[in-house]
Structure 1
């Protein structure tokens, strides 16, 4: 970036732009570590994604995040992909390296870091709702962390089968598809159940998975990738059933820590970032 700029710029390409606590979280990290950086949130429609990417490149941004619905579509506008992003074919973090924009994925790594605070995923069985960008990131990283099997539950057979094929072909786990055309019952013996859909995300805060709650058994780990609100209906239902719950804040904060490391080389304080998010969401 040109030396006469006061700050390094990074940001988020999201839709819509409102209600995004990531900005507060990132800015809190920059202030805490006395970094002369800014994180800007930009509302970008599907049709404007290419122009937005080239604009960030032209303005010398150090990088940016992509949220739903851009995590897969952004790939065709980049110069290359990191190793895990190449496997997932989903990107949430773009890093400027020289004159190139390289796509990385910190979602899955952030999720696995959070998961390890409650359970070691190695050799565990997983039920995963969803087959989009977030589901790809989470499932690939869990597979690389050693989970034994992943059952992908998705309404669209073609998209779900695509994720299953990717996992079976490119990772050591065993994956299978369940087409989600009626209320789903989590199989007995499942160790980890994960929501990687947008069901329950603000403003649809009352959204519930079409899931038989009685199939959530005590001791099962139930994780929700939704961070706004942190206590989704799934988290509340799981806790009422005696499950071990994991909200989406850990994934959000950890992926932010990893993204800042990609952009700046600085290891920032995750606790500072989580506190900032909690303050906003409260």
Structure 2
């Protein structure tokens, strides 16, 4: 007998042959509360009664069997009649659930479910739309209700962030009617619904075995759902934070901030929010307690906030939002991060500094250098942009190509040169490094080419120091608590080391 689910994570099995299928079931079993078997990924000749019984026995958790037709986003090219006959074989194996498209039930079964009803199996009737979230979800909801399923399922592609909330409203509706539902906004914009839906009453949410094995757009790994987001502990009192940017798929921030929230015993979650259109997301900003802001929205976000901290007024950009009452405050914690990373050279006393770059990162560095009364020369590729930037702070300037002729106590790389995947790039060759301190703001890879070249010639400061410090300041602004800096740094190191190993 399958064990009863203690959580709400369903891993989808979609391998191409029975041997891989069984290996995947065994691998998924420890992470899963449910397993969905995508029968359409196998040959019809593999879909035998003996195989079904073996898979149910191997699973040890409730099994959902589905044979998704090509017209409904699957791979099965047979007729509806053939689909129903195969599902009847699965039914005899006592799977916990059959998932059948509403189209098959309406077109072939004419709304009658008797052929697919057999205790203890429960019937999921599903509606999928891989193109949009229709304007009228109510009509789809009523269409599913009409055939009286055990569980309703609505999975649609989100084109607007508001589609998450429209699908969550369906969960509330079924809760009031004492019904079960699976409600999913697919795509990058739908990640919020995948994480939040179970806490609102959805039967389950779908996860993949790994980040590269998603079976639907926007699907997170079961590992991340369970360990990074602690899905089963989310409730209606959970406060939500997130990183707004595009892309955000490789951001370290969810791992770092969620671990920090747990360490401090906070009922809070930090989500990746892949937002391209700020205007679409703007109306939902105050549903959250705070945000990290990354490329490309650090300047544009200022049109959506109520108050600006002095760091934002100085830099003209924000990387942090904090909701205080009805107001959204904007901060730039990069300034704090740079100040922390440079604490030792600044304490020692820095006079002559070379700053490489004239963009947003360089601006935050320039503020710290200006308040420390350093003599600074800014080197950039675009001479006119560099001149304007330098004159704003009263600094000297020159072309980046002239970097080898400069020397001093501190070199700061505020360009992306050396950042993954361009790890062999460097803004300065080894023979031209004549500084006591070298600070590379790039943190991925952990050791850039510039850092390697500087070893033995200078004291090296990693961009990781700035990254962790600015994240710690964000945590402090959001919560008013002392951030667990050592833990945040440890997790960032682990993730970057893992990323660097997989890239090598």
TM-score range for the pair, normalised by the shorter chain length: 0.7 to 0.9
- 2:465 aligns to what? 250
TM-score, normalization by structure 2: 0.49
Q: 1:20 aligns with which of 231, 238, 251?
A: 251
Pair 1:34 & 2:265 matched:
yes
* Unaligned runs of at least 5 residues, structure 1: 169-174
Kindly report structure 1 stretches of 4+ aligned residues shifted beyond 3 Å: none
Pair 1:87 & 2:314 matched:
yes
CA RMSD of aligned residues (A): 2.0
Q: 2:448 aligns with which of 227, 232, 238?
A: 232
For residues 166 and 274 of structure 1, what CA distance do their matches in structure 2 show?
Answer: 34
Q: Do the aligned partners of residues 25 and 186 (structure 1) sit closer, same or farther apart at CA in structure 2, a change above 3 Å counting?
A: farther
- 1:162 aligns to what? 388
Spell out, residue by residue over 1:213-264, the C-alpha distance to the aligned partner (whole angstroms, 9 max, x if none). 31212x621111111112111111111x521101111101111111111111
Q: Which structure has the higher relative contact order (CA within 8 Å, separation 6+)?
A: 1
Spell out, residue by residue over 1:27-55, the C-alpha distance to the aligned partner (whole angstroms, 9 max, x if none). 1111111111111122223xx12333432
Q: 1:187 aligns with which of 406, 409, 413?
A: 406
- What's the CA shift for 1:197? 1.6
Q: Do the aligned partners of residues 166 and 10 (structure 1) sit closer, same or farther apart at CA in structure 2, a change above 3 Å counting?
A: farther
Whichever structure has more helix as a proportion of its residues is 2
- 1:215 aligns to what? 432
For residues 380 and 341 of structure 2, what CA distance do their matches in structure 1 show?
Answer: 24
For residues 263 and 85 of structure 1, what CA distance do their matches in structure 2 show?
Answer: 16
- What's the CA shift for 1:147? 3.6
- 1:172 aligns to what? none
Q: Do the aligned partners of residues 6 and 231 (structure 1) sit closer, same or farther apart at CA in structure 2, a change above 3 Å counting?
A: same
- 2:353 aligns to what? 126
CA contact (8 A) 1:221 1:246 kept: yes
For residues 448 and 298 of structure 2, what CA distance do their matches in structure 1 show?
Answer: 23
- The count of corresponding residues between Structure 1 and Structure 2 is 263
- What's the CA shift for 1:13? 1.5
For residues 127 and 273 of structure 1, what CA distance do their matches in structure 2 show?
Answer: 30
CA contact (8 A) 1:11 1:39 kept: yes
CA contact (8 A) 1:126 1:147 kept: no
| Map 1:53-202 → 2, pairs under 5 A | 53-57=282-286, 59=287, 61-117=288-344, 119-120=346-347, 122-144=349-371, 146-168=372-394, 175-180=395-400, 182=401, 184-188=403-407, 190-202=408-420
For residues 117 and 68 of structure 1, what CA distance do their matches in structure 2 show?
Answer: 29
For residues 433 and 448 of structure 2, what CA distance do their matches in structure 1 show?
Answer: 15
- What's the CA shift for 1:206? 2.5
- What's the CA shift for 1:186? 5.0
- Structure label with greater radius of gyration: 2
TM-score, normalization by structure 1: 0.86
CA contact (8 A) 1:84 1:105 kept: yes
- 1:267 aligns to what? 482
Spell out, residue by residue over 1:158-181, the C-alpha distance to the aligned partner (whole angstroms, 9 max, x if none). 43233223323xxxxxx122133x
